[in-house]
Structure 1
Amino acid sequence: MGLAGMLGGLGLLIALAFRGWSVLLLAPIAALVAALFSREPLLAHWTQTFMGSAAEFLARFFPLFLLGALFGKLMEDSGSVTAIATFMTQRMGPQRAMLAVVLAGAMVTYGGVSLFVAFFVLAPMAQELFCTANIPRRLMPAAIVLGTSTFTMSALPGTPSIQNAIPMPFFGTTPFAAPGLGILAALIMLGFGLWWLGREERRAKRIGEGFGDGAPMPAGRLATDEKLRERATAAREFDPAEIVHGKQTDRPPSITLAVLPLVVVVAVNLAMSQFILPALDTHYLADPRFGGVSLADLGGIWAVITALTCAIVTVLAVSHGRLPAPRATLDAGANAAVLPAMNVASLVGFGAVVAAMPAFAVVRDAVLGIGGSPLVSLAVATNSLAALTGSASGGLTIALDALGATYLERATSIGLDPALLHRVAVIGSGTLDSLPHNGAVVTLLAVCGSTHRESYRDIVIVGIVGPVIALVFLIVIGSMVGPF
């Protein structure tokens, strides 16, 4: 009965979330269903297990949601994202339209710009380039996914994505965990994705398939589509309704000033992670006032917080005069963080209740019993939970909350570097999360004026198959030579 309750609660969560119901409402209901079938105390699990785990997630990661959304909105309204996209368009031109879209997306998201901000800038850019080059419109979503949602989210060392931050307190790692392996995995994702998109472009030209009909969805329409908004905010860390708030400049900065905040993110993140924080005296963290923790528990998060803060200050310094409504922009950025953070925290609370059920021992033993090194079962766990929840960050946190300590213990016992666990977990969360019900996928298709029938196959190839190949490579090489 307990196992049936867990599956029933999960099924209820997936089915109704796909129909646009709020995760804030669904997650506690699904958790209570699981507890009811297990004959566990309902109120205790709601107020203590569910809320305790959700609150812990917010305490750890809400600063990253807040600063990331704020930075993304500032980059949008200052015209910096548009300036970067325009620069890439002009430099590469229609003859390299596919590469221009991919690299523009990679540049802004690796620099910390929120995904949905990038979507609304890249879609019109891709529309213009693809139309001029007569490349099928159906390939636009896949090109944007490759640039924004694959290697810059999970593989490149130092990426400030929330997914790359989540494993850090569990494994005591930094954003630059296993940098060499991460770069190789990123090259596999990028190379495989570009090969596939180039193949499809050449095939389309052979059969005479042109750009076709359709146009990107205006931001205003998405902001008023509540069903789409609910699905989007459960998947990513920016509320798309805030896209239309604030006011964007009509005087974009030069490419140098536009790129500068992105450079600051990467440079400060690296300096904090590798040099500044390790050199500080942080013995005071052992004091109960600060939770009795160590720098290993907080260093990675502190590095990303500092990097995003410095980047926000940089945007304000170089583009304050261009912002038509600075206060409205700041308010919109802050508001854009709240609903996504609460949605993911609710998913984490649901996972905590499920993990507390006696029947969960069956699931845990099955996952941990998967053959091979802990890397294999960790990849399966993060893949599966990201797929079921439709959220890379939610699935990753649920997996690590339930099994992270066990994986770390096993890795320590066999001499496996936690940095390898970190990179496998992050890449594993960014594969099957791109199933058809994923809010980011649904939103991107709407933004591009496309449908699942037209474009989803190519999203699968570049957003799932490529990352899975990179994940397998990472596990094999990492098991043989360790992280580098």
Structure 2
Amino acid sequence: MSTFAIVLSLVLLMFLAYRGYTVLLLAPIMAALAVILSGDVSQMLPIYTETFMRALGNYMLAFFPIFLLGALFGQLMADSGAATSIARWIERTLGSKHAILTVVLACGILTYGGVSLFVVAFAIYPIAKSLFRDADIPKRLVAPAIALGSFTFTMTALPGTPSIQNAIPIKYFGTNTFSAPGLGLIGGLIMFALGMLWLRSREHKARVAGEGYGNHNDHEVGLRGMVGEADMGGDINKTMPLLLALLPLVLVIGVNALFTYGIFPGMEWSFLKERFPTMDATKQTGMWALIIALVVAIVTLLLVSIGRWSNLQESINKGVLGSMLPIFNTASEVGYGAVIASLAGFAIIRDAVLNVSSNPLISEAVAMNVLAGITGSSSGGLSIALQTLGADYLRMATEAGISPDLLHRVAVMSAGVFDSLPHCGAIITLLSICKLTHKESYLNIAAMTIVIPLMALSVVIALGTMFGSF
């Protein structure tokens, strides 16, 4: 009965999230439903306060700085004109003949530099629709192009990417954002190359059929009008010198790498033991390096943008407040996962997942994909999976002689596959921004975010199994 309760609550969570109900409310309600159906009614309140809220709070303690700084940095990049400057430069360099490549590269550069994928989508969409209209490419391919550049190789594969997905395993595996850099690069290149081949083939097919851009009312306010022009993407007409726009993005990756490989490995942490006796500093350095990199990039952006702000206070407040909903949503899902893991029926599910394959990498990939698909969130599914199974996978990997770095990369790439099923909030938001429907664009989006990343993941697992982490 407990296993049935868990499955039912997961199905309802997925269904209601797809219908638009907030996870902030769904997570505790579905957790309570699972507890009640499992026959633990008398323990429901203690489970809520001691299990759900404790897991939620621990997640907030671990990852709040990354959500906060990432959202703030993204908002400042948009409102300063830096994001638009980079996109316009790529547009001028490649021209309208390479409209698809322009959009993918613009999104990729911005997201790899630490700009939120939602901010990127809002900032790039006006440029993308103009490029596609001039090149007479079907508008339905705008959303897949943005998805390829924002939701795939820069989110999960490229080493050093400051995405929250790439930061989550650090706490559980003691790794860093550059884990398995060689395999990450291979996976990222596969996603980019196959994604571009697919989109160019769709473009060619449309041209042969004489489809063209199509008739669209591109002046509708859509989602941007509902949330306010500057709430997400800022003023798309504001620009700044290219080198100044690129500098903060370079610093995010460069400073992160400097502290990860240059400064922190040579430091002696014994002086922290007296004040923080239970802390293992070597497992925190990956997170510390990312925090320092984002702070340096934000300060630099503020300095090079002096005199360019229409309302700096408003931009800062929007960025900070914009971090609240994503982290609380994900933390609530982590709390839900902790409750599920505490139920008797979870042991059956855990054993089934762990025994999918004798190869821990395959087993881990299955677990991450399933939970990311159910929650419709790569960060949410990854967090739940690591909260409940992270210690098991680390033990299995150690016994099999598999590097935690490889475990990290496979976990992150796996969470970025089935997270983008039709009920995924990011997909729904992207389609709303682009004023497209699931019917028009989802199959091509799925090719970018599910089919091709799954192929890249399979290659990475195969190479990691044969040659280890590199």
TM range (shorter): over 0.9
Gapped regions of structure 1 (runs ≥ 5): 225-239
Q: Is the 8 A contact 1:36 1:42 kept in 2?
A: yes
Q: 1:410 offset after TM fit, Å?
A: 1.1
- Between the aligned partners of 2:199 and 2:347, the Cα distance in structure 1 is 43
The CA distance in 1 between the partners of 2:229 and 2:163, in whole Å, is: 19
Q: CA deviation at 1:280?
A: 2.2
Change (3 A) 1:427 1:452: same
* Cα contact 1:261–1:311 (8 A) shared by 2: yes
Shift of 1:247: 6.3
Counterpart position of 2:106: 104
Which of 378, 381, 397 lines up with 1:411 in the alignment?
Answer: 397
Matches within 5 A, 1:123-142: 123-142=125-144
Which of 427, 434, 444 is the equivalent residue of 1:458? Answer: 444
State the one-letter code of the partner of 2:25: L
Closer, same or farther in 2 for the Cα pair 1:137/1:419, shift >3 Å? same
**Is 2:17 the counterpart of 1:14?**
no
What is the total number of aligned residue pairs between the two structures?
468
In 2, distance between residues paired with 1:11 and 1:411? 30
The residue that corresponds to 1:368 in the other structure is 354
The range that moved more, 296-305 or 396-405, is 296-305
Inter-partner Cα distance in structure 1 for 2:235 and 2:437: 29
In structure 1, distance between residues paired with 2:426 and 2:208: 32
Q: Which residue of 2 aligns with 1:391?
A: 377
State the 1:11 CA deviation: 2.1
User: What residue number does 1:235 align with?
Assistant: none
Looking at structure 2, the residues matched to 249 and 135 of structure 1 have their Cα atoms a distance apart, in angstroms, of 22
Q: What's the offset of the Cα at 1:122?
A: 1.1
Residue 258 of structure 2 corresponds to 271
Residues 243-252 or 97-106, more deviating: 243-252
Q: Quick one: distance in 2 between partners of 1:15 and 1:242?
A: 31
Cα displacement string for residues 30-89 of structure 1 (whole angstroms, at most 9, x for unaligned residues): 001111112221001100100000000000001000000000000000000000111111
After the TM superposition, list the runs of 4 or more consecutive aligned residues in structure 1 that deviate by more than 6 angstroms.
Answer: 217-220
CA 1:300–1:104 in structure 2 vs 1: closer, same or farther (change >3 Å)? Answer: same
Amino acid at match of 2:447: I
Aligned residue identity for 1:254 = P
Identity of aligned residues (%): 48
Whole-angstrom CA distance in 2 between matches of 1:134 and 1:380: 40
> CA offset at residue 284 of structure 1?
4.1
The amino acid that maps onto 2:210 is: G
Match for 2:331 among 337, 345, 358? Answer: 345
Specify whether residues 393 and 452 from structure 1 end up closer, same or farther in structure 2 by C-alpha distance, changes over 3 A only.
same
Partner of residue 472 from structure 1, selected from 458, 463, 467: 458
Find the counterpart in structure 1 of residue 417 from structure 2: 431
Deviations 1:102-122 (A, max 9, x none): 000000000000011100111
- Asked if the contact 1:283–1:294 (Cα under 8 Å) also holds between the matched residues in 2, the reply is no
Counterpart pick for 1:283 among 270, 288, 301: 270
Deviations 1:148-201 (A, max 9, x none): 110000000000000000001111111100000000000000010000001011
Equivalent in the alignment of 2:162 = 160
Q: Distance in 2 between the 1:222 and 1:199 partners?
A: 30
Quote the Cα distance in structure 2 between the aligned partners of 1:259 and 1:217.
30
Contact 1:139/1:197 (8 A) holds in 2? yes
The aligned amino acid for 1:212 is: G
Residues 427-467 of structure 1 deviation map (CA, whole Å, 9 limit, x = unaligned)? 00000001000011011111111111010110111111110
Q: 1:329 aligns with which of 315, 324, 331?
A: 315
Q: Distance in 2 between matches of 1:160 and 1:244?
A: 22
Name the counterpart of 2:245. Answer: 258
Q: Is the 8 A contact 2:78 2:233 kept in 1?
A: no
Distance in 1 (CA, whole Å) between partners of 2:50 and 2:219 is 42
Report the 3-state secondary structure (helix = DSSP H, G, I; strand = E; otherwise coil) of the residue aligned with 1:20: coil
Structure 2 distance, partners of 1:429, 1:249, is 32
1:50 aligns with 2:52: yes
1:251 CA displacement: 4.3
TM-align CA RMSD: 1.7
Q: Is the 8 A contact 1:247 1:325 kept in 2?
A: no
SS at match of 1:252: coil
1:306 to 292, 295, 306: 292
What amino acid is aligned across from residue 272 of structure 1 in structure 2? F
Task: Say which is worse superposed, 91-100 or 9-18, in terms of deviation.
Answer: 9-18
Distance 1:383 1:216, change over 3 A: farther
Aligned counterpart, 1:449: 435
Matched-pair contact (CA < 8 Å) for 1:157–1:183:
yes
1:222-258 per-residue CA deviation (whole Å, 9 max, x = no partner) reads 463xxxxxxxxxxxxxxx7794279648541111111
Query: More deviation in 409-418 or 209-218?
Result: 209-218
Aligned residue in 1 for 2:192: 190
The 2-side partners of 1:219 and 1:138 are apart by 18
Distance 2:434 2:302 in 1: 30
Within 5 Å, which residues of 2 pair with 1:104-253? 104-215=106-217, 221-222=223-224, 224=226, 243-244=230-231, 248=235, 251-253=238-240
Please state whether the residue corresponding to 2:307 is helix, strand or coil: helix
Please say if residues 171 and 418 of structure 1, whose CA atoms lie closer than 8 Å, have aligned partners that are also in contact: yes
Q: 1:55-70 to 2 correspondence within 5 Å?
A: 55-70=57-72
CA contact (8 A) 1:158 1:269 kept: yes
Whether contact under 8 Å (2:175, 2:408) holds in the other structure is yes
- Give CA deviations for 1:340-390 in whole Å, capped at 9, x if unaligned: 111110000000000110110000000011124100000000000000000
Question: Against the structure 1 CA distance between its residues 23 and 217, is the aligned structure 2 distance closer, same or farther, given a 3 Å change threshold?
Answer: farther
Give, as a single letter, the amino acid of the residue that structure 2 aligns with 1:277. F
- Give TM-score, length-normalised by structure 1: 0.94
Cα 1:383–1:312, aligned 2, differ >3 Å: closer, same or farther? same
Following superposition, the deviation at residue 15 of structure 1 comes to: 1.9
Change (3 A) 1:285 1:220: farther
**Closer, same or farther: CA 275–324 of 1 in aligned 2, 3 Å:** same
Question: 1:296 deviation in Å?
Answer: 2.7
The residue aligned with 1:231 is none
Equivalent-residue separation in structure 2 for 1:52 and 1:437 (angstroms) = 28
